Amino acid sequence: MDGNRRWAKRQGRRAEFGHRTGAENVHRLSSLCIQRDIAFLTLYAFSTENWKRSEREVRGLMRLLVLYFNKYADELRQEGVRLRFMGDRQGLPPLLTQTMDEAETTSADRNRLQLIIAFNYGGRREIVTAARSAMKEAIERGVDLQSIDEDRFSSYLYLPDVPDPDLIIRTGGDMRLSNFLLWQTAYAELYFDDTLWPDFGEKELDTAIEDFMSRKRRYGSS
- Average pLDDT for the chain: 95
DSSP string, 51-102: GGS-HHHHHHHHHHHHHHHHHHHHHHHHTTEEEEEES--TTS-HHHHHHHHH
Select the more confidently predicted residue: 147 or 194. Answer: 194
Tell me if 44 is assigned to some domain: yes
Is residue 50 among the annotated active site residues?
yes
Q: What is the pLDDT of residues 42-63, one digit of tens each?
A: 999 999 999 999 999 999 999 9
Average pLDDT over residues 97-116: 97
Task: Evaluate if residue 169 carries a pLDDT over 90.
Answer: yes
Tell me if 110 is assigned to some domain: yes
pLDDT of residue 146: 86
* Neighbouring C-beta atoms of residue 201, cutoff 10 Å: 13
pLDDT of residue 55: 93
Task: Band the pLDDT of 222: cuts 50, 70, 90.
Answer: low
Is residue 74 among the annotated active site residues?
no
pLDDT of residue 219: 72
Tell me if 141 is assigned to some domain: no
Range of the structural domain that residue 204 is part of: 4-122+164-213
Residue 182 belongs to a domain with what CATH number? 3.40.1180.10
Q: What is the pLDDT of residues 171-194, one digit of tens each?
A: 999 999 999 999 999 999 999 999
Q: Catalytic: which of 50, 179, 199, 211?
A: 50
Tell me if 76 is assigned to some domain: yes
CA 97, chain centre distance (Å) = 16
pLDDT of residue 36: 98
pLDDT of residue 37: 98
* Neighbouring C-beta atoms of residue 99, cutoff 10 Å: 21
Assess contact for 45 and 119: CB atoms under 8 A: yes
pLDDT of residue 145: 83
Average pLDDT over residues 92-121: 97
Tell me if 129 is assigned to some domain: no
Tell me if 106 is assigned to some domain: yes
* Neighbouring C-beta atoms of residue 184, cutoff 10 Å: 20
Tell me if 156 is assigned to some domain: no
Q: Catalytic: which of 2, 4, 25, 120?
A: 2
Q: What is the pLDDT of residues 130-140, one digit of tens each?
A: 999 999 989 99
Number of domains in the chain: 1
Tell me if 150 is assigned to some domain: no
3-state secondary structure (DSSP) of residue 113: strand
